[in-house]
Amino acid sequence: MLYSHIGMARNNNNTPPSNSGSSKGDLENLTARFEKLKLVNMAMWTFIKEKFEITEEQLIERYKEIDMIDGSSDGKLKVGIKKCTKCGKTLNPKFEKCAYCGAVKSFGTIFEAI
């Protein structure tokens, strides 16, 4: 199954990484997750490229367009300040609900929910 191949990062003796909270352990876990995401993205890209005959130049151009959505060509997508649709207060991006009225946040795209 695909998920078992790209699932939890494992160390050399095939056990899950410790959750000790250490900075080194956190960095190793993030690095492993990043490498797996690169592999998954590369696999998806090969399917898309073959199916839709899209060139790497077109992919790079689209990347640049999306990078400029927030007004800055910096390789990041900054999320702007969001207001609660129910009470109008500023939403904390760390929480799924408004801290003031409890309304569940709505998202314009799936990428805003990540």
Predicted pLDDT of residue 19: 52
User: Is the CB of residue 9 less than 8 Å from the CB of residue 15?
Assistant: no
pLDDT top residue among 64 and 16: 64
From the number of C-beta atoms within 10 Å of its C-beta (0-12, 13-18, 19+), residue 76 rates as exposed
Predicted pLDDT of residue 22: 83
Average pLDDT, the chain: 82
Radius of gyration of the chain (CA): 19
61 pLDDT exceeds 60?
yes
